[in-house]
Amino acid sequence: MIRHGETAWSRELRHTGRTDLPLTPAGEASAASLAGDLARLPIVATFASPAQRALRTAELAGLKDLTIDPDLWEWDYGGYEGKTGAEIRTQRPGWYLWRDGVIPGDAGHPGETVSQVGARADLVLDRARPLLCRGDVALVAHGHLLRVLTARWLGLAAGDGRLFRLDTGTLSTLGTEHEEAVISTWNLPARPQAVS
């Protein structure tokens, strides 16, 4: 799993669901730095969110032949799109996304529950699992969606994604041990490539 590189809003801790923002120069650099690690993996398929930040991350990381998967879109934050947690808590003291959810927004941002995000993550996993017998499947997407997907991989409730912090421009690996779902690596930052 690859979380896309930094955008202006992710740097500012703004909830970025369906707003389609480009990567910052730092986000592009971290995405490109993932290429070396990804080149060493036996990747047989790549699925990416339709958001330009995910597609550009995949491109810069050297992932080829990707399939755009709308189920990998980030959580639809509804009326909280573009707002920071601190801004939301001025209106809703004590608000916590994983417990309290979002409010409806406009037609482009109707909002989703954590269960709805979990249902989308399950669909992604249903498509990826049959391919794992041939090698690794790369998923390029967003922080909250990938956290929910990780919870579902582990057989946990979608809301348990709250337990897994995930930074921009990072690589994480889900796998199995004794046929049980595990996290193999988590939140690994891009390693700078050696200059020759």
Would you name the residues annotated as active-site residues? 4, 74
What secondary structure does DSSP assign to 82-117, as a single string? T-BHHHHHHHSTT--HHHH-----STT-----HHHH
Give CA 132 to chain center in angstroms.
19
CA-to-CA distance for 157 and 144, rounded, in angstroms?
A: 14
CA-to-CA distance for 106 and 111, rounded, in angstroms?
A: 9
CA-to-CA distance for 87 and 91, rounded, in angstroms?
A: 7
Cβ(22)–Cβ(7) below 8 Å: yes
Burial of residue 94 (number of CB atoms within 10 Å: 0-12, 13-18, 19+): exposed
Helices (H) and strands (E) in the chain, counts: 8, 6
